Amino acid sequence: MVMENDDYLKALRDRAAAYAVTLQSKRYELAKPEFWYPYGSISNFVHIEMLLTGTNRNLLCEIDPKRAADIGAADGDMSFFLEQEGWDMTIIDNPSTNWNGLKGAKLFRDATGSRVRIEEMDLDSQFRLSETYQLVFMMGILYHLKNPFYFLEQLSKSAMYAIISTRIMRWSGPAEQQITGSHSRGTRQLMEHLPVAYLLGPNECNNDRTNYWIFSDAGLRRILDRAQWDIKDYRIIGDAHEADPFTAEHDARAFCLVQSRRPPL
């Protein structure tokens, strides 16, 4: 049984890669390439396959009902793929911070007859999720939120599981010879064991004003715990040894599977 589900997860990863080609081809029939979000999210299935271990590798095939939300979904790659896999999917995003104002997700949905729901929501407000979900995907969205504690706490009331990825830091800044611009020129400090987060300036990370909080490893684990989540699997990819909040060459990402400690849905 475990081997069968292990094969399922690897096959899901491979089907996702194949669907990404179909997805791009169809999108380019609908609008010019520059209209679409330039960073594909279906590649996250590669990381999800590596993340899940032991009995957690059974999760995606055993969840019932297969009802999930994709929060901060860009153009909805993961949602449209999982719909093909039999999932009931909802995209949740804020048009004002989405690459094309959610027009891309809506255009693709309408052109293909998809039944994926699209819910517009300002996640930096005192929001409430209108539905409950067995699983939520939050891929690369946490560090774009002004209020990650509130977000994670509210989510724990509406979702049984979540798969999260977010940028993390090991050091407070880049190595001395790489410090430029607004980056602090003080002695950098090792942060991975401190439960903290760094608040970015508007131009410090990829010149993107929507980047806010970069957690240390201990900080991410602490906020998940305080927001009523248990970590079931955890993995760091990228430059884990030199990770800092600023530089692209020292970008590291934590991927984790978490389970809510709230009463069962």
Q: How many CB atoms lie within 10 A of CB 153?
A: 16
Cβ partners under 8 Å of residue 34, min gap 6: none
Q: Under CATH, which architecture does the 2-260 domain have?
A: 3-Layer(aba) Sandwich (3.40)
Closest CA to 220 of 158, 148, 163, 161: 148
What confidence tens digit (pLDDT) does each residue in 133-153 have?
999 999 999 999 999 999 999
Q: Mean pLDDT across the stretch 204-216?
A: 93
Residue 87 token pair:
């999932």
What confidence tens digit (pLDDT) does each residue in 60-78 have?
999 999 999 999 999 999 9
What is the pLDDT at residue 4? 53
What is the pLDDT at residue 187? 79
Cβ partners under 8 Å of residue 32, min gap 6: none
What is the pLDDT at residue 184? 52
Q: How confident is the model at residue 89 (pLDDT cuts 50, 70, 90)?
A: very high
What percent of the chain has pLDDT above 70? Answer: 93
Q: Is the pLDDT of residue 260 over 90?
A: yes
What is the pLDDT at residue 130? 85
Q: How far apart are CA 75 and CA 70, in angstroms?
A: 10
Q: Mean pLDDT across the stretch 31-36?
A: 96
Residue 197 in contact with residue 215, Cβ under 8 Å?
yes
Q: How far apart are CA 187 and CA 265, in angstroms?
A: 48
What is the pLDDT at residue 5? 62
Q: How confident is the model at residue 253 (pLDDT cuts 50, 70, 90)?
A: very high
What confidence tens digit (pLDDT) does each residue in 164-198 have?
999 999 999 987 655 555 555 567 899 999 999 99
Half-sphere exposure of 138 (CA within 13 A, CB side): 25
What is the pLDDT at residue 3? 45
Q: Is the pLDDT of residue 91 over 90?
A: yes
What is the pLDDT at residue 207? 86
What confidence tens digit (pLDDT) does each residue in 227-245 have?
999 999 999 999 999 999 9
Torsion angle of the four alpha carbons 252, 167, 88, 262, in this order, in degrees rounded to the nearest 10: 120
Q: Mean pLDDT across the stretch 83-89?
A: 97
What is the pLDDT at residue 178? 52
Average per-residue pLDDT for the chain: 93
Q: Mean pLDDT across the stretch 214-229?
A: 98
Q: How far apart are CA 221 and CA 61, in angstroms?
A: 27
Length of the chain (residues): 265
